[in-house]
Amino acid sequence: MKVLVVEDDVRIADVIRRTLTESGYAVDVAHTAPDGVQAFEIETYDLVVLDLMLPGLPNGGMAVCRRIRVIDKNVPVLMLTALDSMRTKVEGLDAGADDYIVKPFHLVELLARVRALLRRSPRAHAPVLRAQGVTLDPATRTAQRAGRTIMLTAKEFAVLEYLMRNAGTIISTTELIDHAWDSNYEGFSNVVQTYIRYLRQKLTAPGEADIIETRRGAGYLINADR
């Protein structure tokens, strides 16, 4: 899952970014209203965390939210506001926000609201993903195969989740990087291959088939259940 955070306070933006990243999300950050709009126009995101008070455009976050809704009517928007007034909340919801959270907030609440919005999103697939004998629960971030629980790191979970959400489709290395890492990733080109290897080692017990297929020159595939 890929999240855009638009927050002008660098410290708060960094805390949110680290919190979401540690929970397995790929996160991009913008610090002004124009930069937030530009990022959303270029990239595809599963959710936007949007500050209300942003520099660069009249009405800041409200303007960004309205522009987002012109581009995409379905992406969940969680609005951050330091103004705990009913009028502000109503204006934010009317501008297209799906939920709001008042500063200062607890990070556990932020994560809970993010998970809830993603579960309700029209983009979301079945709450529990199943393919080739593997069960993946995004809500509890757990994986199972043949009755055993498989412990995955946040990044391993993100890669497996994207493959399972697109079961039956060959996913390229570039697409996996776009959705499981943030847009500024400039690391090793073989990082996807490395994480696929980690997943195969964890998912496959002796005597079991490898559920992740490599299609040379194309990408990776988990077949959908028939």
What are the tens digits of pLDDT across the range 84-126? Answer: 777 777 888 888 999 999 999 999 999 999 988 988 776 655 5
Residue found under tokens 């489709």: 169
pLDDT for the residue 23: 85
pLDDT for the residue 187: 61
Residue found under tokens 């080692």: 201
Q: What domains are there in the chain, each with its CATH number?
A: 2-120 (3.40.50.2300), 129-222 (1.10.10.10)
Q: Which residue numbers in the chain have pLDDT < 50?
A: none
CA neighbor of 158 nearest in space, from 133, 186, 129, 184: 129
CA neighbor of 180 nearest in space, from 66, 75, 27: 27
pLDDT for the residue 122: 63
pLDDT for the residue 203: 95
Question: Distance between CA atoms of 102 and 88, rounded to whole angstroms?
Answer: 11
Q: Point out which residues pair with 29 in neighbouring strands.
A: 5
pLDDT for the residue 44: 85
199 in helix, strand or coil?
A: helix
**Residue 31, C-beta contacts closer than 8 angstroms, at least 6 positions apart:** 6, 7, 8, 10, 13
